Structure formats: structure tokens, C-alpha cells
């Protein structure tokens, strides 16, 4: 796990003069007449006789978001180099957001690969955002490289905010570090190639994490799935020599105010099955278990942060491959709980494994159900690669969408139109797994899942098909590959439920 060693420090003249850091990180804000120094940079500015912004302007700084400019300190402070990172424009009140701090911290961490020790003043603006951004921006996945390249920044001293107590700051550092580590758990799983990450090996990794964190753990193999009637998971996984699994991982504190069920799609590789996908981009389908990775990391995080909630993750795992034993378009599957589904497209497999897991989760009578999955290409068409589509019980859907945006992960509330249910009618079974047209595919998938949610259960579905995997260049605290979305959103939702019910 590539998390830098993070420590709190004073933001004082003495601290800067004695620092063993090689680089001092300061933030710049894009102003009308050039860059302005962000809050927390006052001590560094004093070391430059109040002319640090002027010097940065001379070497080309403008304060634009994620802009990186370096200059030598010439002995004015203990660090040899100042790295100025742009935060972008401030709001009408002259303030910057937590997400601006998070992205700037990530950009700085990426730029400082190979550096042993850094002192950052961005944490004086928002400590939690700076910790998360730094840890996630420093993340690299090099397990399969013979030459891993420059190591991530090793140590980061964080300037303490002016407000709050030392105890408060330590608690924030601990929580933010745990959140970042959990995102990295998800990223590592997503970035592991499918020849090494398949249902059984995912289950072994999950078991190890459960044991390390004192969690309940149960796994159902293909024999148990057949015996108990999990027709959706079995149907999808039957074409692979690597047979499916269903995991249950639970955190149960002594006094829990609410019970939360988490469900995450775990298709460890998705070829589309008989309805095979085009070859171009199929390698990205190694990320089709991002929902599973996210909920596994989230239940581990619940234990680390000791939420006063019972949190239970249900994770269906399968490979969707074509073979002589694969399920076919035209098959009818008997799902867990008794409903039947006609398969019209074997590439609409995620909803089939999720339906089984959702019914199983509902049997435990949770107060809330949170499900997340790389479910539809229609999500990307509708909302792009950085905004999740969020559906479910209206009030809870809106609550989760607002929290997702506040965390910086992004999300937008979407409807579940009742008229789409008729389009899922089957000539043979209770319902079909897709509609007969291409319109509203993200919403139709949500309507399908709603059919398996226990009556009266407050629930939400988070479609992360685009946001879960970055196929472009790195930005902010997000590198190429698995992003770990929506771990931070789920963490914030759990915290909100713990506080407000």
C-alpha cells in the first residue's frame, strides 16, 4: 500500500527553518492580476520578504488549477525548493473548496515522486482534503513492472490549521488516512489483472482483509449457490472454468443505531458472454468488479473508523465468458427469491448477479441498502466519465447524490420512470434483463434492480461505469486505472447516517 508517512507539524517560522523536508508546497490562487498566495502560506511568504507571489509570477505561475511551478529557496528556509501548486479561482467570498485543496494536493504529490520528504501548507486550508489528496495523488500500482520507476513521495509534514485543537487535528489525520487507505484497497483490487483476480482469489483477499479487521466472513461456492438457488450468479458464471462466489462480510459493533447493507457488482472480467463485446476497449473490463472492490473497502473502513452502525457487504463474484457451458440469449434464469428472468442479452449480466445479492441482503432487514456497480454504458453516455448516476428511493437518492458531490467524487440524481417497467416485460418469464430499445438504458437497469429490492426498504443504486476507471491521463489525485469511487461517498453516507439516522 503506497501511502506516504503523514505527520502534523507547526506552521511557523521555526518549523520552516528547521524542516528536514526537501520541498515546501504552497498553494496559489488564480487572481485577476496574477497568482495570489493561498491561506497557510504566510510564513513562507515572510521568508521571502513578502515577495513570494511576485517571484512566482516572474517564473510563470498563474494559479490555475493543478499548475506546478518550482523555484529554489536559496537558503531562505530549510527546504531547498518551493513548489507552488495552483488551486484555481476562489469563490465570491475569496475561499477555495475542499475539492480544490484535494486536487492540488494530489497534483503536487504526483509531481514530487522520488522525493523523500515534503512540507505542505495546503493542509492549513483543509486538513482532511490535503491528507486525502496527498495520499491518493501519490498512489502508484507497480506490482507488475520489472522497473517500477520513481518511488512515491515517502514522508509528508502537514502544516496544522490555525483553528481547532491538536486533538482535533490528530483525529482528522487518522480518519482521513483511513479513508485514503480504503480507497487504495479498492484501487489495488481494480488494477489487479483478471488472470490473478478472479472469483476465488478475490474471495481469498476479502477473507484476509476480514480477518485483519475483525469482520464476519462467509463465502458461498458454486455448490452452495446451486443448493440455495442463486440462479443469477450461477447463470452468469457458468461459462467460466473459474466458478462464481457470493461473499458476506459484516461489521457489527456492540451498539449499532442502524443496519446498512452494501452490495457491489463483482464481475472480475466481462467479455459480454455470448453477446460478446467489441475487442476495442475490452481490456477495460478488468474493472467490472469496481463495485465489489468499493463495498469491500467500505466495510473495512467502517470497522477502522468504528462507525456506530452494523454494516454488511454482499458481494456477488463471477467471470462472464463465452464457452460451451455459457448461458445464452433466450435462457430463463430462476433467481434467488423465486422470480424468473428471460435473458435477452448476456452482456447485461451485472444486474443478474446483483439481483440475487440484493434479495439476499434484504432478508437481513437492513434500514438502508446501498448498491454500486459498473452497470451500464448508458451512464457514460448520459453523464460522462466523472459523474455517477444515482437512483433509488427519492429522498435517500437525493441525499446520497448531494453527499457524493460534497466529497468531490460526483454524482447526479436520476429518476426511475414507472413506464420503463412495461418495457422489461418478458414473453416467457417475470421480466427480461433488457428492454427492446436503446433508450434510457441506465434508468431501465435501475428499474430492473428495483424489482428485487424488499418492499419498503430505503435503497440507492450508484452506477459508476465511467467514474470507476480512468482511461485517460492523470488529473488531481486520480491516476490512470482504478479510481476507488465511490468509497469516499459511501464513507460520508455512513457518517451521515450515524449522525442523523
Q: Which residues are catalytic?
A: 277, 351
Q: By the 8 A CB rule, do 247 and 315 touch?
A: yes
CA-CA distance, 107 to 193, in Å (whole number)?
26
Distant-in-sequence contacts of 164-170, Cβ < 8 A, 24+ apart: 166/8, 169/8, 169/127, 170/8
Angle at Cα 27 formed by Cα 470 and Cα 483, nearest 5°? 15
Percent helix, strand, coil in the chain, to 5, is 35, 20, 40
Closest Cα to residue 156, out of 83, 74, 96? 83
Kind and range of the H or E element at 445? helix 441-450
CA-CA distance, 467 to 486, in Å (whole number)?
9
CA-CA distance, 250 to 241, in Å (whole number)?
29
Half-sphere exposure of 391 (CA within 13 A, CB side): 25
Closest Cα to residue 338, out of 448, 424, 429, 428? 429
Q: Is 370 helix (H, G, I), strand (E, B) or coil?
A: strand
- Spell out where 122-227 has E strands: 155-159, 216-220
Q: By the 8 A CB rule, do 86 and 62 touch?
A: yes
What is the bridge-based pairing of β-strands 388-392 and 458-463?
antiparallel
CA-CA distance, 349 to 189, in Å (whole number)?
20
Contacts of 76 (CB under 8 A, 6+ apart): 47, 48
Q: By the 8 A CB rule, do 297 and 314 touch?
A: no
Where are the alpha helices (H) located in 318-410, listed in sequence order? 350-362, 377-383, 394-407
Residue 17's alpha-carbon distances to 151, 227, 267, in angstroms, are 26, 68, 53
CA-CA distance, 101 to 104, in Å (whole number)?
5
CA-CA distance, 169 to 127, in Å (whole number)?
8
Residue 204's alpha-carbon distances to 36, 143, 201, 243, 268, in angstroms, are 51, 18, 5, 14, 14
Q: State how far Cα 97 lies from the chain centre.
A: 20
Residue 139's alpha-carbon distances to 85, 132, 178, 211, 272, in angstroms, are 18, 11, 14, 25, 31
Amino acid at each position: 500500500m503506497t501511502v506516504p508517512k503523514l505527520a502534523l507539524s507547526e506552521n511557523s517560522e521555526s518549523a520552516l527553518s528547521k524542516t528536514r523536508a526537501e520541498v515546501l508546497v504552497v498553494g496559489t490562487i488564480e487572481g485577476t492580476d496574477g497568482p495570489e498566495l493561498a491561506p497557510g502560506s504566510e510564513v513562507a511568504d515572510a521568508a521571502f520578504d513578502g515577495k513570494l507571489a511576485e517571484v512566482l509570477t516572474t517564473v510563470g505561475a498563474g494559479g490555475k488549477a493543478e499548475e506546478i511551478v518550482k523555484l529554489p529557496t536559496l537558503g531562505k528556509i530549510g527546504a531547498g525548493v518551493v513548489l507552488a501548486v495552483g488551486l484555481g479561482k476562489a469563490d465570491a467570498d475569496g475561499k477555495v473548496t475542499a475539492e480544490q485543496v484535494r486536487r492540488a494536493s494530489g497534483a503536487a504529490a504526483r509531481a514530487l515522486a522520488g522525493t523523500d520528504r515534503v512540507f505542505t501548507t495546503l493542509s492549513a486550508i483543509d486538513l482532511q482534503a490535503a491528507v486525502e489528496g496527498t495520499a491518493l495523488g501519490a498512489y502508484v500500482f507497480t506490482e507488475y513492472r520489472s522497473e517500477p520507476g520513481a518511488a512515491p513521495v515517502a514522508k509528508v509534514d502537514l502544516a496544522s490549521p490555525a483553528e481547532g485543537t491538536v486533538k482535533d487535528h490528530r483525529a482528522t489525520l487518522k480518519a482521513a488516512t483511513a479513508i485514503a487507505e480504503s480507497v487504495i484497497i479498492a484501487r489495488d483490487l481494480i488494477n489487479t489483472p483478471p488472470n490473478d483476480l478472479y472469483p476465488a482469489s478475490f474471495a481469498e483477499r476479502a477473507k484476509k482483509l476480514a480477518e485483519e479487521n475483525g469482520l464476519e466472513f462467509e463465502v458461498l461456492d458454486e455448490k452452495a449457490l446451486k443448493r440455495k438457488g442463486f440462479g443469477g450468479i450461477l447463470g452468469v458464471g457458468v461459462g467460466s472454468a473459474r466458478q462464481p462466489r457470493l461473499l458476506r462480510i459484516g461489521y457489527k459493533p456492540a451498539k449499532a443505531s442502524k443496519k446498512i447493507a452494501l452490495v457491489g457488482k463483482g464481475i472480475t472480467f466481462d467479455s459480454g458472454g455470448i453477446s460478446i463485446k467489441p475487442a476495442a476497449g475490452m481490456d477495460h473490463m478488468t474493472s467490472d468488479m469496481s463495485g465489489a472492490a468499493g463495498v469491500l473497502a467500505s466495510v473495512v473502513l467502517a470497522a477502522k473508523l468504528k462507525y456506530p452502525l452494523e454494516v454488511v457487504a454482499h458481494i456477488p463474484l463471477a467471470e462472464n465468458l463465452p464457452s460451451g457451458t455459457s448461458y445464452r440469449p433466450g435462457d430463463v434464469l430462476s433467481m434467488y427469491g423465486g422470480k424468473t428472468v428471460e435473458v435477452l442479452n448476456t452482456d447485461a449480466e451485472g444486474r443478474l448477479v446483483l439481483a440475487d445479492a440484493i434479495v439476499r441482503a434484504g432478508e437481513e432487514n437492513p434500514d438502508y441498502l446501498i448498491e454500486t456497480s459498473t452497470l451500464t454504458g448508458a451512464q457514460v453516455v448520459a453523464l460522462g466519465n466523472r459523474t455517477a448516476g444515482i437512483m433509488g428511493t427519492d429522498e435517500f437518492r437525493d441525499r446520497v447524490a448531494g453527499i457524493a458531490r460534497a466529497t468531490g467524487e460526483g454524482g447526479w440524481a436520476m429518476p426511475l420512470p414507472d413506464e420503463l417497467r412495461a418495457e422489461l416485460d418478458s414473453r416467457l418469464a417475470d421480466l427480461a434483463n433488457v428492454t427492446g430499445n436503446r433508450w434510457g438504458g441506465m434508468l431501465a437497469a435501475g428499474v430492473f434492480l428495483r424489482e428485487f429490492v424488499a418492499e419498503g426498504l430505503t435503497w440507492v443504486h450508484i452506477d459508476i461505469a465511467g467514474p470507476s476507471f480512468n482511461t485517460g491521463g492523470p488529473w488531481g489525485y486520480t491516476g490512470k486505472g482504478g479510481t476507488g469511487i465511490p468509497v469516499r461517498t459511501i464513507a460520508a453516507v455512513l457518517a451521515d447516517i450515524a449522525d442523523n439516522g
